[in-house]
């Protein structure tokens, strides 16, 4: 999700306001569970949903998100991008004093964190209690005439002095409310509790979520923009975070690591530079080519031609590279592909055949990342399909299937992303 015009952020102002007036207390490092949207542990879980239905939903939602992302990158629209239900990852966190726990959708493609609050003019159904600012002794409302409100793109709320925010997404999801600050905390595997005071977030009073029966409080942004947790708490977490995503067939949970615990330094790690581009929410890197066996296709695009996105299931490649990858896959698999693959999927095989999917190597600048079949293909007894599609534009997307069983570290000080092949179910 990305909000461009409605949340115009100022890095310089935010740095001065948030961190100059209070001492920096560093977290030694901690982790938080990441629950897949289609996991039995998720409030979205539907036991009756078939794998074939899941496969098609992932494709449809990913294609919709890819089109919206392209629109935002080209600055042709101002809406944010919706996260597919099955593709999302949920995170539990606490707000306020005393702390109240919530689940929210985690997204590296959005910045602002917001939750539903009381009083609520219009809220979607949420089984858990809404956040009550009046019940927290540490909650503070931002004033509309403050520099922080202006830096977050806020405006005056009605006739009060409160700072109002608005975010609209690519579907019917939206949130309008008041910007405030409170203590954000996590319970972790490594430490009992880690708290971040004065975290700025949206207290939603008029919200709509397109997801049905979703017991989530809102959206948690981990993008590169100035309103995200990663930027607001950058000094406390040593300017770094990492995560490990489990396969969708696993009933386990992934992990988000912040601070010292996020450092990836074991043998086998490879790193590639982050590229600064607009919008700054996205984590851009450079894809130089893709190999299967002894065949390689090279990218004709320049630096920052692909970004990593936790909210898109599929990987999307520029058309010429996609066509070449399809040709290489067909040449490496002996079985004949389906002439009429389901939906908008480009390359599929019969599920009851002995399809041996080859490894793919993504050649990023300075880092060769080997993708296993779990990263590039998915299916069931009826059909097996490649989880790579054309991006219909010059910028590609490295989706969350491609990130499965990798420990990905984002070092925002050194401006690099590191990949380490890992069994994420064991974290």
**Residues with catalytic annotation?**
107, 309
pLDDT above 70 for 308: yes
Q: What is the pLDDT of residue 371?
A: 98
Residue 268 pLDDT > 60: yes
> Which structure tokens are listed for 46?
């539907």
Over residues 356-368, the pLDDT tens digits come to 999 999 999 999 9
Beta-ladder partners of 104: 91, 218
**In whole angstroms, what is the distance from residue 88 CA to residue 175 CA?**
18
pLDDT band at 341 (very low <50, low <70, confident <90, very high): confident
How far is residue 27's CA from residue 275's CA, in Å, rounded to a whole number? Answer: 27
23 Cβ contact list (under 8 Å, min separation 6) = none
Q: What pTM did the predictor assign?
A: 0.84
What pLDDT, on a 0 to 100 scale, did the predictor assign at position 27?
A: 52
Gap between the terminal Cα atoms of the chain: 27
d(CA 2, CA 9): 12
Query: 8-17, 135-144, 405-414: which range is least confident on average?
Result: 8-17
Mean pLDDT of 196-213: 84
Q: What is the pLDDT of residues 49-59, one digit of tens each?
A: 555 556 656 66
Closest residue by Cα to residue 404 from 427, 387, 421 = 421
Alpha helices in 74-205 (DSSP H): 147-151
Determine contact, residues 269/419, Cβ cutoff 8 Å: yes
Q: Which has more pLDDT, 125 or 202? A: 202
Q: How confident is the model at residue 17 (pLDDT cuts 50, 70, 90)?
A: very low
Compute the half-sphere exposure of residue 162: CA atoms within 13 Å on the CB side of its CA: 18
Name which residue leads in pLDDT, 271 or 57. 271
Which has the minimum average pLDDT: 18-22, 124-128, 137-141, 149-153? 18-22
Whole-number pLDDT of residue 12: 31
pLDDT one-digit tens code per residue, 138-186: 999 999 999 889 888 888 887 789 999 988 765 557 889 999 999 999 8
What residues contact residue 138 under an 8 Å CB cut-off, 6+ apart?
Answer: 96, 97, 182, 183, 197
Q: Which two tokens stand for residue 309?
A: 């996105």
How far is residue 142 from each of residues 55, 110, 120, 146, 211, measured CA to CA in Å? 43, 21, 18, 7, 30
Q: For residues 54 and 50, what is the distance between their CA atoms, to the nearest angstrom? A: 6
Supply the DSSP string of 159-216, one letter for each residue.
Answer: TSSBEEEEEEBSSS-EEEEEEEEEEEEE--SSSS-EEEEEEEEEEEEEEE-SSTT---
Query: What integer best gives the mean pLDDT of the chain?
Result: 82
* Token reading at 56: 């098609």
Q: What is the CA radius of gyration of the chain?
A: 21
pLDDT value, residue 128: 85
């Amino acid at each position: 999700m990305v909000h461009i015009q409605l949340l115009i952020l100022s890095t310089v102002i935010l740095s001065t306001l948030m961190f100059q007036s209070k001492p920096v207390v560093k977290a030694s490092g901690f982790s938080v569970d990441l629950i897949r949207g289609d996991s039995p542990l998720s409030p979205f879980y539907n036991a009756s949903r078939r794998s074939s239905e899941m496969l098609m939903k992932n494709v449809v939602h990913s294609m919709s998100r890819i089109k919206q992302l392209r629109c935002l990158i080209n600055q042709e629209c101002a809406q944010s991008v919706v996260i597919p239900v099955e593709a999302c990852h949920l995170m539990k966190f606490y707000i306020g004093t005393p702390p109240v726990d919530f689940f929210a959708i985690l997204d590296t493609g959005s910045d602002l964190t917001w939750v539903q609050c009381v009083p609520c003019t219009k809220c979607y159904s949420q089984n858990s209690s809404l956040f009550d600012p009046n019940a927290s002794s540490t909650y503070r409302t931002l004033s509309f005439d403050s520099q922080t409100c202006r830096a977050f793109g806020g405006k005056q709320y009605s006739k009060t002095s409160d700072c109002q925010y608005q975010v609209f997404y690519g579907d019917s999801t939206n949130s309008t409310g008041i910007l405030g600050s409170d203590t954000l905390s996590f319970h972790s595997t490594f430490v009992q509790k880690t708290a971040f005071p004065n975290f700025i977030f949206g207290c939603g009073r008029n919200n709509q979520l397109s997801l049905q029966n979703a017991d989530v409080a809102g959206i948690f942004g981990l993008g590169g923009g100035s309103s995200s947790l990663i930027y607001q708490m950058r000094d406390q977490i040593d300017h770094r975070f990492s995560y490990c995503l489990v396969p969708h067939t696993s009933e386990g949970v992934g992990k988000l690591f912040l601070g010292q615990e996020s450092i990836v330094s074991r043998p086998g790690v490879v790193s590639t530079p982050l590229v600064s581009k607009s919008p700054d929410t996205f984590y851009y890197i450079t894809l130089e080519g893709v190999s299967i066996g002894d065949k390689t296709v090279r990218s004709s695009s320049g630096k920052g031609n692909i970004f990593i996105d936790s909210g898109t299931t599929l990987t999307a490649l520029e058309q010429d590279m996609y066509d070449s990858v399809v040709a290489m896959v067909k040449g490496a698999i002996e079985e004949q592909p389906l002439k009429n693959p389901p939906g908008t999927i480009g390359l599929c095989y019969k599920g009851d055949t002995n399809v041996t999917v080859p490894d793919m190597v993504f050649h990023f600048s300075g880092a060769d990342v080997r993708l296993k079949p779990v990263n590039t293909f998915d299916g069931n007894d009826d059909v097996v399909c490649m989880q790579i599609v054309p991006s219909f534009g010059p910028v590609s997307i490295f989706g969350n299937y491609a990130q499965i069983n990798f420990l990905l570290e984002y070092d925002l000080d050194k401006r690099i992303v590191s990949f380490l092949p890992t069994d994420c179910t064991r974290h």
